Amino acid sequence: TNTVITIPVVFHVLYKNPNQNISDAQIQSQLDVLNRDYRKLNTDFSAVVPSVFQGISADMEIVFCKATKTPSGATTTGIVRKSIASSVSFGDSYYLAAGDPAWDPTKYLNVWVGILNGDYNGILGWAYLPDQAGQAWDGFVCDYRYFGTTGTATAPFNLGRTCTHEIGHYLGLDHPWGEDDSLCGSASNDDGVADTPATNGPYFECPTFPSNEFACTATPNGSIFMNYMDYVNDACMAMFTNGQKALVQNTMSGPRASLLT
């Protein structure tokens, strides 16, 4: 039986200058990354994922497509473009107020590509967890420099993995260190996924396998730092686990089930 599900996506491009009004090709490059990463078709899989972790790596069986109909039923490319006056700060709602409101978030995954203020070091984008499903702000906001693989995409976040990571959050996934990035063993130091070893915080850049640097419990294979839900560079993340897939399937049959109808 076919268990692959399709999620319709609308892209809202918010720009101040023409350079930020990213091309259709750049948007397509991001969609292509999602459709490789969520089907375990990413070509860097065998090089980046150590063989000991390949067996627990999941084909998430999710496909993303550009919306073909607007909420009122008109034909659309799935891309909306709008000129705005200012950048967006982490967590504010300028992307809605001055930007472009969500299309019915119970029916579409809304992605806003805008200009994030530089004062939040390390924020490449943010997404809302399934507990915000259907809210006016529900979806994913991304800086135009960390989106897709062409055009304005900027190394080391130029392989589209910010989107892969953030949509993981949208689908219910947490970081391997849970809500707590210091206290191993605490109740909040848990992502609710058994096959992702707990860590006391993120790995960055491109660690060497095996690493127990941030592991809560040292093991021969160490942390799965090459997971999409960690903080390593785009080129150094290449897998979800079977446990993460099970959690996402619960989201898709629960709080985000309306995306499929």
191 binds ligand ARG (CB under 6 A): no
State in angstroms the smallest separation of the CB of 158 from ligand ARG.
9
- Is residue 73 at the binding interface for ligand ARG, with CB under 6 A as the rule? no
> Which DSSP letter does residue 75 get?
B
Q: Which position among 15, 64, 157, 240 is part of the footprint of ligand ARG (CB under 6 A)?
A: 157
Backbone φ and ψ of 7, nearest 5°: -110, 120
Q: How far is the CB of 201 from Ca ion (least distance, A)?
A: 14
Instruction: For residues 78 and 66, give the distance between their C-alpha atoms in angstroms, rounded to a whole number.
Output: 5
Phi-psi region of 101 (alpha: psi -120 to 50; beta: other; left: phi over 0): beta
Query: Rounded to whole angstroms, what are the CA distances from 89 to 86, 128, 167?
Result: 10, 15, 19
Taking the complex as a whole, the smallest distance from the CB of residue 127 to ligand ARG amounts, in Å, to: 7
- In the list 12, 40, 145, 165, the residue contacting ligand ARG (rule: CB under 6 A) is 165
166 has catalytic annotation: yes
Rule CB under 6 A: choose which of 122, 182, 187, 208 binds ligand ARG.
122
Q: Are 21 and 15 in contact (CB under 8 A)?
A: yes
Nearer to ligand ARG, 1 or 121 (CB): 121
Q: Which stretch binds ligand ARG (CB under 6 A): 41-49, 54-62, 63-71, 230-238?
A: 230-238
Our finding on whether 233 is near ligand ARG (CB under 6 A) is yes
Among 227, 231, 247, 256, binds ligand ARG (CB under 6 A): 231
165 binds, among Ca ion, ligand ARG, none (CB under 5 to 8 A by kind): ligand ARG
Beta carbon nearer to Ca ion, 127 or 216: 216
31-51 burial string, b = 16+ CB within 10 Å, else e?
Answer: bebbebbbebebebbeebbee
Give the count of beta carbons closer than 10 Å to the beta carbon of residue 225. Answer: 26
Distance CA 114, CA 90 (A): 11
Alpha helices in the chain (DSSP H): 24-37, 45-48, 51-54, 94, 161-170, 242-253
Kindly list the residues in this chain that would bind ligand ARG in the complex (CB under 6 A): 122, 124, 157, 161-162, 165-166, 231, 233-234, 237
Active site residues: 166
